[in-house]
Amino acid sequence: MTGRGEEDCLKTASQDPPINKESLSELDLNRIVNDTRLRHDLNFEHEIMFRPNTYGRRGTHKKREDNAYFEALALEFDHYIRRQRKLASSPSRRDSSSPARRRCSESSSPKFPQRLPSMIIAIREVIKTLVPTAKWPTVDDQFDVDLRMQELEHGICDIAGLFEWIGKLLLGSCSPMRDPVVTAMVAKSEQAVSAQDAHQLVGSIRDLFGVLETMKLDVANHQIRHLRLYLLDESIQFEQNQILDRIATGWSISHERRWFETNYAHPEREDRFLMFKERVIDRIVTPTATFPLALASDHERLKQLQQDFRLCHYHAACGYTFTNTLQRLGWQGSPPPASYTECMKRIGAIIGAEGLGFDFGAHPDVVLEIVREAFKLCNIAALPDHRTLGLTERYFQEALDHRTAFYSEIEGTLWDELATLVHLEADAIFDMTPLEILNRYDPGGPGSYVTNNSNRGGDLSLE
């Protein structure tokens, strides 16, 4: 890195370490117990657990910021390493009272905002959340900011000894499965100090932050597992109290009231639970429909159901188009189940290859695959002609156009099928406890969850 690049890095990189007490505060027990979304999601996922969130655009941005911080930290350590070498090279500078030592101290003082004090504080505060309170005084002594900064200024800070002490403390507090990582971190720090390598030393510090975060995650995940039954049993009462508290503090429910009156204020209908189910189904089958704020905790799941229903409609449209194409080619009756399944499998592969950008339109590749499978079943060796492709595409477009009667017919059939399933399941779980419902739909696979401070999708993630 050039001199200009080093200067820019020291000026622009974050002053605070990426992992600190505040960034990990969402893992505190009090935050977990009072996290509305987490408490709600526990009803749907059997093995929710926290993990670092390194995915997507936000994860990439965080990595970039982390790298900049640790690069700046390495430059600061390099400053003190060069300072130590300068002091060691001149015997007259070893005496702290000598004029030469004072001139060296003044000329070598860093001209940039220092990150080391806040780093020392961050490590100290996170460690104190992981060890018994009886050990806090010792931790405070080891991470005395003024003392450690003075030791760095005079080139006498025993960094290797400090890492060795940290290693022993963590080995007595963390899960045994973390022992190899802690041991490797201590060994790496010793090598860095011996080689006077600032970047290797910062690598050890980065490993330390990683270990502290992992330990905090381990504790939080253990607490979730331990409290799961209690949290599930109290989930309904908890959410009711949360909503009542929000209303008491001024949260307006006028939109929800209008939604309720519009959908349920029908004196001739007594079964309001049935009406609720039907209105939710109506929104699931309508891709552009929105859901009221009262269902905010389930918006992601409901939007996923909308997407799943679109996919069901799309596959149904493909099936109708496949059958229509066969009939135009002279096929009598319905296609064989094996051929139908093979055609749907190939169309599914095309949709999967397109990913989330698939628009559920009359995709040329899908049309071609339908015609190709129809030709194959009818033993037509020729390549699909433009006329057949055009007729198939128009029929397919009609099945996908929400303004057509054909689209409404397909949607109505699927609505009836979905409603039958919903009513059967609602009746089956009506008297079940939250835990029994969870076990019915999620027998035990790991789930996923994202959270960071007040922002979802940040530094930490629940899985």
Confidence at 109, pLDDT banded by 50, 70, 90: low
Q: Which amino acid is at 204?
A: S
Share of the chain above pLDDT 90, in %: 51
What is the full DSSP assignment across 116-132?
HHHHHHHHHHHHHTTS-
Among 30-39, 319-328, 375-384, 454-463, name the one with the lowest average pLDDT: 454-463
pLDDT band at 448 (very low <50, low <70, confident <90, very high): very low
Res 269: pLDDT = 57
Residue 276 or 330, more confident: 330
Residue corresponding to tokens 């790496």:
188
Whether the pLDDT of residue 355 is over 70: the answer is: no
CA distance 53 to 60: 10
Compute φ and ψ for 292, nearest 5 degrees.
Answer: -65, 160
Q: What is the pLDDT of residue 258?
A: 79
User: Is the pLDDT assigned to residue 208 strictly greater than 80?
Assistant: yes
Q: Which helix (H) or strand (E) holds 348?
A: helix 337-354
**pLDDT surpassing 60 at residue 10:** yes
CB 367 within 8 A of CB 396: yes
Q: Which residue has the tokens 């020729």?
A: 382
What is the Cα–Cα distance from 26 to 459, expressed in whole angstroms?
Answer: 10
pLDDT at 124: 97
- What strands, in cross-sheet order, belong to the sheet with 50-52? 50-52, 455-462, 449-452
Amino acid sitting at position 241: N
pTM score, two decimals? 0.74
Q: Where are the alpha helices (DSSP H) in 172-285?
A: 179-195, 198-233, 235-248, 254-264, 272-284
- Low-confidence winner among 103-107, 189-193, 454-458 (lowest mean pLDDT): 454-458
Q: Which long-range contacts (CB under 8 A, 24 or more apart) does 61-67 make?
A: 62/18, 62/458, 62/459, 65/13, 65/14, 65/18, 66/18
pLDDT (tens digit per residue) in 359-373: 778 889 999 999 999
Contact 210, 54 (CB under 8 A): no
Asked whether the predicted pLDDT for residue 436 surpasses 90, the reply is no
* pLDDT tens digits along 300-315: 999 999 989 999 999 9
Residues 6 or more apart whose CB falls under 8 angstroms from that of 274 comprise 423
Structure-token match 């940040």, residue found: 458
- pLDDT at site 149: 93
Output Rg (C-alpha) for the chain, integer angstroms.
Answer: 32
Q: What is the pLDDT of residues 389-402, one digit of tens each?
A: 999 999 999 999 99
Question: 447 with 46: CB under 8 angstroms?
Answer: yes
Contacts of 83 (CB under 8 A, 6+ apart): 104, 108, 153, 155
Q: Is the dihedral of CA 91, 94, 99, 103 positive or negative?
A: positive
Could you identify the residue written with the tokens 């080689």?
195
CA 165 to chain centre: 34
Contact 88, 213 (CB under 8 A): no
Q: Give the end-to-end CA distance of the chain in Å, rounded to a whole number.
A: 38
Q: Minimal CA–CA distance to 208: which of 174, 166, 145, 260?
A: 166
d(CA 455, CA 458): 6
Q: Convert the pLDDT of each residue in 278-293 to its tens digit.
A: 888 999 998 888 888 7
